[in-house]
Structure 1
Amino acid sequence: MTPEERLAELGLTLPPVVPPVAAYVPALRTGDLVYTSGQVPIVDGKPARTGKLGAGLGVEEGQEMARICALNALAAVKAEIGDLAKVRRVVKVVAFVASTPDFTDQPKVANGASELFQEVFGEAGRHARSAVGVAALPLDVPVEVEIIVEVS
């Protein structure tokens, strides 16, 4: 089963690539690696949620936002390489979580993205990861995710 067939089986479709809000590109390939810029939870051109974890947003809402970020990252990768079947492995995921100083469940929030990559790519979706709490993110979104994938 291809990654896109797995997405369809999950009831998901890749969104259009989120256009950059500054001077960068959504994804860039160098050799066998594709790096995405940080992807935020944009749906239909606007943030799906705003705010901070620990101040009105809970872990489950954060996971949902991380999953949207992951879909946006996959859309950027596909736009760069043409076909998600060329992804050999998800190498690294970095999740930035806008959160209050006392919120410490950033890794649980990041699982929203990590679990999606594993559902889509199976064993090749297992990756190294960092989950970092930050004071604020662009557009006041609660989560931002960037990925590095190895491609053929």
Structure 2
Amino acid sequence: MTGPHAKLAELGLKLPELVPPVASYVPAVQSGQTVYVSGQLPIADGKLLATGKVGGGVSAEQAKDLAQRCGLNALAAIDALVGLENVVKVVKLTGFVASAPGFTGQPGVINGASELFGAVFGEAGRHARSAVGVAELPLDAPVEVEVIVEVG
């Protein structure tokens, strides 16, 4: 059986450094067998990868890649707290898309994170989900993702 770190490597992806919080919260918290990951922005090397509205200055394809980065950052938060190898199930993913007027492709954007979790965890990566269009996100980010996982 291939573990999540090996699956990431097979996908040509590397688990990033834990993104420090941008306000007064922690990246992830465990309660019993559940880990709640705070909203993750598409940050790499301490910088937001893009700003603006999806369907405006940010394309849906670019936003899907940004959602994947949010997912990677969520995985880093889980790994730092409990270790990815302890994830039993990805339970719920909530994705927020800063949307230009008339943009309705939020589900396709959030597929960037959903497909990542499926590729890394297989059947255990299939999850319930919401993909929500919003007017603004912190730091003018185009996408934000939060995750709930079960650990064992």
Q: What's the TM-score, normalizing by structure 2?
A: 0.98
Q: Mean alpha-carbon deviation: is it higher for 122-131 or for 54-63?
A: 54-63
Which residue pairs with 1:64 in the alignment? Answer: 65
SS in 1 for 2:95: strand
- The alignment partner of 2:123 has SS state of helix
Q: Which residue of 2 aligns with 1:32?
A: 33
Q: Secondary structure at the match of 2:116?
A: helix
Q: CA RMSD in A?
A: 0.6
Shift of 1:101: 2.3
Query: Which residue in 1 is equivalent to 2:8?
Result: 7
Map of 2:50 onto structure 1: 49
Mapped pair 1:139 → 2:139:
yes
SS in structure 2 at match of 1:88 = strand
Q: Gaps spanning 5+ residues in structure 2: where? A: none
Number of residue equivalences: 151
Identity of aligned residues (%): 63
Alignment of 1:109-120 (within 5 A): 109-120=109-120
1:104 aligned partner, one-letter code: T
Compute the displacement of 1:110 (Å).
0.4
Give the SS at the match of 1:38.
strand
Once residues 125 and 54 of structure 2 are traced to their aligned partners in structure 1, the CA distance between those partners, rounded to angstroms, is: 26
For 2:17 and 2:67, how far apart are their aligned partners in 1? 17
Classify the secondary structure of the residue corresponding to 2:93: strand
**Which stretch has the larger CA shift, 54-63 or 142-151?**
54-63
Shift of 1:99: 0.6
Amino acid at match of 1:26: P
**4+ residue runs over 6 A deviation:** none
Residue 85 of structure 1 and its aligned partner are, at CA, apart by 1.1
CA distance in 2: counterparts of 1:17 and 1:50, whole angstroms: 20
Which secondary structure state, in structure 1, belongs to the residue aligned with residue 40 of structure 2? coil
Distance in 2 of aligned mates of 1:139 and 1:14: 23
Counterpart amino acid of 2:101? P
